[in-house]
Amino acid sequence: MKILVLGAGAVGGYFGGRLAEAGADVTFLVRERRAAQLEADGLVVKSPHGEIRRKVPIVREGAAKPEHDLVLLTCKAYDLDAAIAAIAPAVGPTTFVLPLLNGLAHLERLDAAFGAARVLGGTCYLAGTLTPQGEIVQLSPLHRIAFGKRPGNDAKAAVALMKLAAAFAKTKIDAQLASDILLEMWEKYVLLATLAAMTCLMRASVGDIVATDEGEALTVACLATCEDTAKAAGHEPRADRMAQARKMLTEAGSTFTASMLRDIEAGNRTEADHIVGDMLKRAAAAKVPCGILRAAYCHLQAYEARRRREKK
């Protein structure tokens, strides 16, 4: 199986790097600056599961060809249009696209660009960052990926997914070929939307939030809103996953935050529309009470408005 990974940042670089480490045929589609780093230093991953430091095949934007079986799409939601344009030359009539973006809103845009038959379902759990020097640093031991067939996918998707599962089986990653990938994606979305809404609204970690008088109650209420929204969409999260989410989101002393908060603290653009905003839209459409999400999204929109004003 020939795999093309869009980008070599924290997510694409980590999962693609682990596949390459295990002997998979992986090429990275990168911009000029990242290409120069990879050519000079190789792909560098610093992780609790062992360091990767290796030369990897790369192709620069504009030079990709439709010779890959699978494109692993790893980008920020606000870069999705540019990402679609970048991978379009690489998507042939038998190529599948596996997006690892957060949330769900990207699926409709990818279906429109490449056809629902070709766009698989996927989600991942990874805390990592790309340093200015081009090193990928994994911030916690968690490294999980799930992928699977969506309704409407081409019949040959099952074969491609089994090949991908076999490739991941040779890595150190917790990888799952899911029988219900949309449920997996909703469960991740419920957790992430709550985490992003609460840590960004409060500008604080989970532990700092639950140390307040109302923090735990507000967090649990926000989680319930997101869970009820998933139920209304026909994808009720499993009880054990919700118990895990609640534990993670209410753990005393936890320094856990959404990467969106780190983006705010760095003065960067956020995925507010794609994650909190989209969850709010879905909750409102389903008539799920969503006051906390409304406040969180308003906060994030105000941050983005100020950021744009100050950059003028």
**Angle of the 291-311 helix axis to the 278-285 helix axis, nearest 10:** 150
d(CA 56, CA 42): 7
Per-residue confidence in pLDDT tens, the chain, 312 aa: 999 999 999 999 999 999 999 999 999 999 999 999 999 999 999 999 999 999 999 999 989 999 999 999 999 999 999 999 999 999 999 999 999 999 999 999 999 999 999 999 999 999 888 999 999 999 889 999 999 999 999 999 999 999 999 999 999 999 999 999 999 999 999 999 999 999 999 999 999 999 999 999 999 999 999 999 999 999 999 999 999 999 999 999 999 999 999 999 999 999 999 999 999 999 999 999 999 999 999 999 999 999 999 988
Q: Is 87 exposed, middle or buried (0-12, 13-18, 19+ CB in 10 A)?
A: buried
- Chain center to CA of 299: 22
Which pLDDT score is estimated for 146?
98
Q: What is the enclosing helix (H) or strand (E) of 278? A: helix 278-285
Helix (H, G, I), strand (E, B) or coil at 7: coil
Which pLDDT score is estimated for 312?
82
We find that the CATH architecture of domain 2-179 is 3-Layer(aba) Sandwich (3.40)
Pull the structure tokens for residue 20: 């390459």
Please report, to the nearest 10 degrees, the dihedral formed by the alpha carbons of residues 170, 175, 177, 182 taken in order. Answer: -160
Tokens 């905003």 — which residue?
Answer: 277
d(CA 306, CA 189): 27
- Fold annotation for 183-311: N-(1-d-carboxylethyl)-l-norvaline Dehydrogenase; domain 2 (1.10.1040)
Would you say the C-alpha torsion 262, 186, 114, 155 has a positive or negative sign? positive
- Chain center to CA of 193: 12
**Domain residue ranges of the chain, discontinuous segments joined by +:** 2-179, 183-311
Q: Return the amino acid letter for 279.
A: M
Q: What is the enclosing helix (H) or strand (E) of 53? A: strand 52-54
